[in-house]
Structure 1
Amino acid sequence: KLAEEVKAKAVIYEVHAMLAELFEKEQDIQSFVKHYKLYHKYKSEVFKEEQESKQKYLTIQYEMEKLQKEAEITRLTNAVMKEKNEELEKKTEELEQSYNSISVLSKIGRDITSTLNLNTILNTVYENVNQLMDASVFGIGVYNTEVATIDYQLAIDKGKRYKPYSRSMEDKDQFPVWCIENKKEIFINNVEMEYGKYIKSMIKLNANAELEDGTASEVQHSLLYVPMMVKDGVIGLITVQSYEKNAYTQHHLDILKTLASYTSAALYNARSYETLQNTINELKLTQEQLVQSEKMASLGELTAGIAHEIQNPLNFVNNFSEVNTELVDEMNQEIEKGNLEDVKAIAKDIKDNQEKITHHGKRADAIVKSMLQHSRTSSGVKEPTNINALADEYLRLAYHGLRAKDKSFNTTMKTDFDESIGNVSIIPQEMGRVVLNLINNAFYVVYERKKQQPEGYNPTVSVSTKKMGDKVLISVKDNGTGIPQKVLDKIFQPFFTTKPTGQGTGLGLSLSYDIVKAHGGEIKVDTKEGEGTAFTIILNS
């Protein structure tokens, strides 16, 4: 009863077990059954409660373990999150730094590749590199393969410029020499500890380098050297240096390598442009010399003709001068005799002769002026010019020039000048060279054909002018061998010639074409092999 009051079911079912066992021995079946049933009832309840308690315990234990695990997970998560956050912040900082570096590099790349001026390129790189890393000392050396030196046109130490200096490739105890020879970068964060990887001695590190203000340079602790490459060749190097140890990381080296790529491309372009400009200047000078040579060559062709043309009027001047001298003596005799009528007649003869002397003197003067006009540099100013007189002048001079070379040569010269043309506004020196060139070419081809075909061939060169509306045509025609169709498209190209080596520069027709074009005109050619060629200049009247 007490056990029931305190709900000690374990004690109750043990008591009923003992009572059941007692009544069984006493053979009190009714009491035995009663207590045996109670025994099983309470034992089942106790077992059930034990199982429930055990289950509760296990549940509580599981929940506690779960809470412990969750707490550990939370703790670990917080630790990992903290670590990840720190890593994320670091990565973000690195990304921002990389973005800023890329932005600066892009700006440098744009700036230095948009110019061909060497000093602008060097200064632009220096002005921006300090945004990327510590560049207390900065330099760009250009490799001079001809004299085997590295020439520093720009080197700066704490904002102070070095005087331009060079490093000899023979000096093996120099970092830049190692960099150029090995085509590899140098990466040092403690020069005293690491220099031995590249050179044997540090004694000559700052040899020959002198600041413009005369102050001495100190030894740098951290150094980066990167070769500037174009294709597989080294054209120079770029270096940044710091007075602090451990100033640089792989990130800085990668940036400098990128900067070296930009700079090498810009320097290569600048040097190529400089070389191109020098070549163009040399070509211009050569062209001017060739043009002058062509002018002198054509003048040389005229020399004999000029001499012949001058000789004729000079002969007249000399002859009439001698006659006048004799007439003066005769007139003096008649004066002494008092024959006034004879004196008047002689005086008239002297005057007539003097007019002839003046006429032929002016003729010689005109020939000399024409020669001087042809040889001197063109003024570039157009002036009214008698096209007919110009063409006729050069036809006769060119013919006599050729005759002076070969007295046996004769050719038929035909002219047909349109007198209605009048004066045409041209640069006479320039257009005269064109006409002379065409006439010389015509005489040359008929001369060559005559040598090949001495019998049955009559060399003929025709020069004509004609006014057609607002155009003036100047034609030079020959009955030579004609121009082969396969070379017809090339005749106005510079340096193209069908003449043997040494007999032509190949510039005559090219210059003629350019001169006519500059006058706003055109030059046409009509040719037939075996029959001859006609060149026609078409100008505005």
Structure 2
Amino acid sequence: MGTSYFLIVLFFVQYIRKTLGTKETHPHWDQILIYSRFTAIFLMCGPWVFDYDAAFGWFWHIFMLAFVGVIYTRYEFKSVRSLMMSVIPLIVIGVLGDVTSLVSKSFYDNYNEYFDMFKVFAIIWVVAMWYQNRRQQKQLAAERLQRLEEEKQNQLMQARKAELEVLVAERTNEITRQKEELVIALDHLKTTQGQLVQSEKMASLGELTAGIAHEIQNPLNFVNNFAEVNTELIQELKEEQEKGDPDHELVEEILRDLADNMEKMVYHGKRADSIVKGMLMHSRTGTGEKESVDVNALADEYMRLAYHGLRAKDKSFNATLEKDFDPEVIVARVMPQDFGRVLLNIFNNAFYAVSQRARQEGEEYRPTVWLSSKLENGTVEIRIKDNGTGIPDEVRAKIFEPFYTTKPTGQGTGLGLSLSYDIIHNGHGGRLEVESEQGSHTLFIVRIPVN
């Protein structure tokens, strides 16, 4: 048993001194460990010198208990406590063996081999615990190195952070200055944008006004003509009544003509009134609220207004208007002013395209603009097609961009289709698409949900 104790003490002293570095960290305990090693050597050699094997066996037990107890209780050696505890089973077995030998030598001799087996298991347990402790120490060492490396990295990061804070402060000042400049530029841009949009609306209003002036002339002519006829009929009625014996059949006929003419005057008066209301609705700023509108009637109205607007500028211009509306009345919730601007802009472009082609090809060409509507799956689809000059492929990709126009200077701002695209997509949740073939036709498709 003394040999096992001796080897354990020598090995543990060396292991503890090396693992914990007691020579540098705890010199006092390092000296005690060295003395413990000398004590173990003395106890190992004592039986050979003094010939007291039994007494030295008990000295060994006391020494091992003191050795384990001191190291286990000291805070400085807390990392090897589990290693010290692994020796306790070996000490307990040794003490039990010696006590049994003293009390009953015959019993000890009969079961000595079991005590030896338990000692072997205890020693294996010590070795296993030492191996486990060694792994833990390596893991702790690795963790310490990792922490040192992390601390080093943290120091580098702190230094870098300080540099970055200086750079960020400088950059922030620069960005603040640039922001102030951009705010000023944005204010100017918004002012300019508002002026351009207003200019586009006024241009659209001017075209609409020209169409309305031409369109309203027809019902006014009817009203004036019927008013003159009624004046003549009233004069004839007075003359007939002044006769002593009036012709009652003639009087009734005159009265019927007067009633018919008045109905026609009322009809054409309401027609003129609706045109004026449409002009006022188009000219005023929209409230952004949607209203239920007869889409077919609205599209038909703006098609004629756009046509007569161009005719007001060019008396020689004529075109065929083809309409194919859905047989059912299509009522959709739209913003009338904005939606009307979209239709008017597309019709103006269509009539402009056919007028340009008419100038190029002469009398053999027949300018035509088609308007059709269809209601399908809760979506209104309006198609506006012309057989004008068409749009080249490279131009078609840009026509919805702000300020892009193919018209000569002074005839277009380049905002019409851009605003139309925004009104349909953002204002009505719909789609505005274009299909075209140069020299053949152009088709605009407007799709909006009914509700």
How far apart, in 2, do the equivalents of 1:332 and 1:488 lie? 68
Give the structure 1 partner of residue 412 of structure 2. 504
Partner deviation per Cα, 1:437-474 (whole Å, 9 max, x = no partner): 11111111111111122143211111111112221111
How far apart, in 2, do the equivalents of 1:264 and 1:401 lie? 60
State the SS of the aligned residue for 1:324: helix
Deviation of the 1:278 alpha carbon: 2.7
Give the structure 1 partner of residue 204 of structure 2. 298
How far apart, in 2, do the equivalents of 1:416 and 1:367 lie? 22
Which of 434, 441, 446 does residue 354 from structure 2 map onto? 446
How far apart, in 2, do the equivalents of 1:274 and 1:356 lie? 65
Q: Residues 330 and 375 of structure 2 are in contact (CA less than 8 Å); yes or no, is this contact kept in structure 1? A: no
Residue identity opposite 2:351 in structure 1? F
State the SS of the aligned residue for 1:537: strand
Give the structure 1 partner of residue 291 of structure 2. 383
Please give the TM-score of this superposition, normalised by the length of structure 2: 0.60
Give the structure 1 partner of residue 436 of structure 2. 527
Partner deviation per Cα, 1:177-200 (whole Å, 9 max, x = no partner): xxxxxxxxxxxxxxxxxxxxxxxx
How far apart, in 1, do the equivalents of 2:376 and 2:413 lie? 34
Higher strand share: 1
Which of 352, 367, 386 does residue 260 from structure 2 map onto? 352
Which of 465, 476, 484 does residue 373 from structure 2 map onto? 465
Give the structure 1 partner of residue 236 of structure 2. 330
How far apart, in 2, do the equivalents of 1:380 and 1:282 lie? 25
How far apart, in 2, do the equivalents of 1:421 and 1:469 lie? 15
Partner deviation per Cα, 1:321-380 (whole Å, 9 max, x = no partner): 122222222222222225244333322222221121111111111111111111111111
Give the structure 2 partner of residue 366 of structure 1. 274
Deviation of the 1:420 alpha carbon: 1.2
How far apart, in 2, do the equivalents of 1:289 and 1:524 lie? 27
What RMSD over aligned residues (CA atoms) do the two structures have, in Å? Answer: 2.3
Please give the TM-score of this superposition, normalised by the length of structure 1: 0.50
How far apart, in 1, do the equivalents of 2:273 and 2:185 lie? 43
How far apart, in 2, do the equivalents of 1:504 and 1:304 lie? 16
1:425 aligns to 2:323 (yes or no):
no
State the SS of the aligned residue for 2:364: coil
1:286 aligns to 2:192 (yes or no):
yes
How far apart, in 2, do the equivalents of 1:466 and 1:421 lie? 10
Partner deviation per Cα, 1:270-289 (whole Å, 9 max, x = no partner): 33223222322332232222
Deviation of the 1:265 alpha carbon: 4.2
Residue identity opposite 1:481 in structure 2? T
Partner deviation per Cα, 1:75-98 (whole Å, 9 max, x = no partner): xxxxxxxxxxxxxxxxxxxxxxxx
Structure 1 unpaired stretches of 5+: 1-98, 111-257
Give the structure 2 partner of residue 222 of structure 1. none
Deviation of the 1:476 alpha carbon: 0.7
Residue identity opposite 2:175 in structure 1? N
State the SS of the aligned residue for 2:403: coil
How far apart, in 1, do the equivalents of 2:234 and 2:173 lie? 84
Instruction: Work out which structure has the larger RCO, using CA pairs closer than 8 Å and 6 or more positions apart in sequence.
Output: 2
Partner deviation per Cα, 1:112-146 (whole Å, 9 max, x = no partner): xxxxxxxxxxxxxxxxxxxxxxxxxxxxxxxxxxx
How far apart, in 1, do the equivalents of 2:441 and 2:254 lie? 55
1:537 aligns to 2:429 (yes or no):
no
